[in-house]
Structure 1
Amino acid sequence: MSDPFKQASGNMKVLTADENAEGRLDAWMTAQLGEEFSRSRVKVLIKEGNVSSKGKVVADPQKKVRPGDIFEINLPEPEDPTPKGEDIPLDILYEDDDLIVISKPSGLVVHPAAGNWTGTLVNALIHHCGESLSGIGGVRRPGIVHRLDKDTTGVMVVAKNDVAHRHLSQQFADHGRTTPLERAYQAIVWGHPRSLKGMIDAPLGRDTGDRTRRAVKRPGTADADEAITHYEVLERFCEKPDATSLASLVECHLETGRTHQIRVHMAHIGHPLLGDTVYGAGFKTKANLLPEVAKKAVNGFGRQALHAYMLQFEHPRTGEVMRFEVPLPDDLIALIEALRTVDV
């Protein structure tokens, strides 16, 4: 029997199913890759979009393997050494022996990953907290129980010991259905939703064409995760005689916490975030409709207009309900003020 495992360019491997191949993709791949990869690790690789066949991403670990199938596998870089502490300033809102609450600035990546092995929030936390974070939640993500995108600002909580990590992780996994957990964001979006208050119930999963993006999925599909966002329009900018607006300030409350959830959901209903080059690139030319001052402010805003302004949770040791709010950062305030100057 020929060896089904073939080296391709870079970290790409190719597996070809022989005449005896059968069963689920994750189980079959695990058997081919050997002891270096556990089945759980292979399953994650598949769900994260690292496996393709005939040029299309295969994100379903349960896909049936048939003789002759050819799969290309993008194997991530080998694990780097444990992240080291770096003296990166932290805006600390609260801290005790169990947890630390911070206000995350724009541009700060939460944990080390490809392209950002240093200069992350994890590096800053290791420097600030010392050895207490070691081993909590994994080597790359010590203490991390939730995350914000690199360019999203706002409040985050980090665990400082195993008990706190387990308790907080359970609250985030529960999405506040049976716990006091609550998360609220403010965003500036193009246009304004037809209903000034509403709910977006649209499952999310990996974009089949780009593994770094998320996309709305049909309910019941293999990689579709429940995703629910509640929104309310707080202010409309550049209102026109026909009752439309060029942009709006909205508040979003998460009933679930999926990657890029607010960004994808708002784009899904036709109102992507200002500055979002991933999910709102097609709306960039709308800035040309603005007077020069507002146009300059919109074009110069170098990130998605999203801020996690409120986080509420139960303290893992005392049971106290803790609530933290962080006002809008200066760049978002400046953008709002520029939009308010527009007289249509």
Structure 2
Amino acid sequence: MPSKNMIRKGKRRQTVKHEYRIARDAARAAGLEPGIDPESVAVPEGYLAPIPERVVPQLDEEELESEDGVRSFAADSAAEGMRLDAYLAKAIPEISRSRVQLLAENGQISVDGEKAKSSLKLKGGEQISIEGEPRPLPLKAFAEDIPLEIVHEDKDLAVINKPAGMMVHAGAGATEEARNHGTLVNALLGHFGRMSEVGGAERPGIVHRLDKMTSGLIIVAKNDLAHRRLSEMFAAHDLEKVYVTLVQGWIRKDKFTIHMPVARDLVHRTRMTTLRKDGREAVSHVQVLERIEGRFGRFTLAEVKIETGRTHQIRVHMQSISHPVVGDTLYGAAGALKDKATDETIPLERNFLHAWRLVFRHPMTGKKLELEAQLPPELAEIADLVNS
């Protein structure tokens, strides 16, 4: 026999605690003191308080970037009490709940390092890793007639000087039509017709990446064998990749190494951080080229040679030593140059980061290739301005 104190069927999700929260929030909104006695909350007879819809922040493209085929991110606090499959279906709108269940069945989803079932109840804050492509693959990439600066080309590979603003491959737009145009992949197919297929139908030829707003040299593979050998070289750090950057302030040391792990920031999830102990190893060698002082303040022009290729590696490493890359507002840099004497302000359209030099052995012939791409005009103009 039911207890007389049992909440009636249909109202069992309406609790004093819930009404207390409603009254508390209303009091706070009215500017009253937050201390409210839950016993004083008056609930009209027959009133059923609405249950607020669970809002789950969606993951963006940068949060879903792959690191060696694995995408890792932290579950939002809104995931508390939710099943794993329900949370991921809300956090990644392009992925269906049934696809999450399939990935989990195949052992491709881990939570805090352990293979997870789709029915797992989350607490919020767990580290979730998805092996392979979480979304259904987009339609096969297609060719577009887009101008490219080809620095080197042979029958096995090409090296492109990618402009800032060009995505390497299809992103996470609302539709396939919106996200699969104007990429480096589209341009490659337009120029070369066929590329390697090791990276999948949506990323033909792509061996490594550059951020959308980073310009400079990127290697692409024309056939599968060259692609696999290049991938092995990247994994073994058997290439020399050198960037040039302009950072805020004067760096004191002329030459040094930043050896700090890089991981997704659990609070600002579009960013990376060096503060998590479970981050992946990242090594950047910094060489100061010039310390600059002009009407816009102090800056340092530097070369950075990276041993590893973590997401945002140089950007987060420079921010970690309090010298963010000029124009990189995501990591705390100003979005404009400002002359303190005249208040003249010049907006910065991009980060001052350019992959200017590549040195590697050709994966098929063994011949040493040393390739360079000078600063693009917009960065050369910024360099001139800060020197004025």
TM-score range, shorter chain: 0.7 to 0.9
Secondary structure at the counterpart of residue 324 of structure 2: coil
Q: In structure 1, how many angstroms separate the alpha carbons of the residues matched to 2:230 and 2:274?
A: 28
Secondary structure at the counterpart of residue 216 of structure 2: strand
Aligned-residue RMSD, C-alpha: 3.4
**Structure 1 residue 197, shift from structure 2 partner:** 1.3
Answer yes or no: is the 8 Å Cα contact 2:294–2:387 preserved in 1. no
Secondary structure at the counterpart of residue 249 of structure 1: strand
**Structure 1 residue 291, shift from structure 2 partner:** 4.9
Map 1:216-235 → 2, pairs under 5 A: 216-219=274-277, 221=278, 224-235=279-290
Q: In structure 1, how many angstroms separate the alpha carbons of the residues matched to 2:291 and 2:361?
A: 34
Write 1 or 2 for the structure with the bigger share of strand. Answer: 1
**Structure 1 residue 217, shift from structure 2 partner:** 3.5
**Structure 1 residue 336, shift from structure 2 partner:** 0.9
Answer yes or no: is the 8 Å Cα contact 2:83–2:122 preserved in 1. no
The match for 2:211 is 149
Q: In structure 2, how many angstroms separate the alpha carbons of the residues matched to 1:16 and 1:87?
A: 42
Matched, 1:324 2:382: no
Count, aligned residues? 290
Question: Structure 1 residues 44 and 290, CA, compared in 2 at 3 Å: closer, same or farther?
Answer: farther
Q: In structure 1, how many angstroms separate the alpha carbons of the residues matched to 2:108 and 2:146?
A: 32
The match for 1:315 is 362
Question: Structure 1 residues 291 and 83, CA, compared in 2 at 3 Å: closer, same or farther?
Answer: farther
Answer yes or no: is the 8 Å Cα contact 1:192–1:233 preserved in 2. no
Counterpart among 223, 236, 248 of residue 174 in structure 1: 236
The match for 2:256 is 198
Q: Aligned letter for 2:247?
A: V
**Structure 1 residue 290, shift from structure 2 partner:** 4.2
Structure 2 spans left out of the alignment, 5+ residues: 1-52, 60-78, 86-96, 115-119, 174-178
Question: Structure 1 residues 77 and 210, CA, compared in 2 at 3 Å: closer, same or farther?
Answer: farther
Q: Residue by residue, what CA displacement relative to the aligned partner does 1:250-285 show, whole Å, maximum 9, x if unpaired?
A: 11000111110000000000000111021124x458
Q: In structure 2, how many angstroms separate the alpha carbons of the residues matched to 1:304 and 1:112?
A: 21
The match for 1:162 is 224
**Structure 1 residue 152, shift from structure 2 partner:** 0.7
Q: With the length of structure 1 as denominator, give the TM-score of the two structures.
A: 0.75
Counterpart among 263, 287, 297 of residue 315 in structure 2: 263
**Structure 1 residue 225, shift from structure 2 partner:** 0.5
Matched, 1:42 2:42: no
The match for 2:90 is none
Answer yes or no: is the 8 Å Cα contact 1:182–1:312 preserved in 2. yes
Q: Aligned letter for 2:365?
A: T
Identity %: 41
Q: In structure 1, how many angstroms separate the alpha carbons of the residues matched to 2:127 and 2:340?
A: 42
Question: Structure 1 residues 216 and 89, CA, compared in 2 at 3 Å: closer, same or farther?
Answer: same
Q: In structure 2, how many angstroms separate the alpha carbons of the residues matched to 1:307 and 1:33?
A: 38
Counterpart among 270, 288, 292 of residue 237 in structure 1: 292
The match for 1:109 is 167
Q: Aligned letter for 1:35?
A: L
**Structure 1 residue 84, shift from structure 2 partner:** 1.2
Q: In structure 2, how many angstroms separate the alpha carbons of the residues matched to 1:174 and 1:38?
A: 32
Secondary structure at the counterpart of residue 332 of structure 1: helix
The match for 2:127 is 59
The match for 2:184 is 121
The match for 1:69 is none
Question: Structure 1 residues 61 and 118, CA, compared in 2 at 3 Å: closer, same or farther?
Answer: closer
Question: Structure 1 residues 124 and 118, CA, compared in 2 at 3 Å: closer, same or farther?
Answer: same
Answer yes or no: is the 8 Å Cα contact 1:183–1:310 preserved in 2. yes
Answer yes or no: is the 8 Å Cα contact 2:196–2:227 preserved in 1. no
Answer yes or no: is the 8 Å Cα contact 1:201–1:229 preserved in 2. yes
Q: Aligned letter for 1:228?
A: V
Q: Residue by residue, what CA displacement relative to the aligned partner does 1:50-91 show, whole Å, maximum 9, x if unpaired?
A: x994553x22559xxxxxxxxxxxx96533211111111111
**Structure 1 residue 42, shift from structure 2 partner:** 2.3
Q: Rg: which structure is higher?
A: 2
Q: In structure 1, how many angstroms separate the alpha carbons of the residues matched to 2:207 and 2:243?
A: 18
Q: Residue by residue, what CA displacement relative to the aligned partner does 1:16-75 show, whole Å, maximum 9, x if unpaired?
A: 79xxxxxxxxxxxx999533556464249999xxx994553x22559xxxxxxxxxxxx9
Q: Aligned letter for 1:135?
A: E
Answer yes or no: is the 8 Å Cα contact 1:275–1:305 preserved in 2. yes
Answer yes or no: is the 8 Å Cα contact 2:294–2:386 preserved in 1. no
Q: In structure 1, how many angstroms separate the alpha carbons of the residues matched to 2:200 and 2:112?
A: 17
Q: In structure 1, how many angstroms separate the alpha carbons of the residues matched to 2:261 and 2:335?
A: 26
Question: Structure 1 residues 31 and 105, CA, compared in 2 at 3 Å: closer, same or farther?
Answer: closer
Counterpart among 186, 189, 192 of residue 247 in structure 2: 189
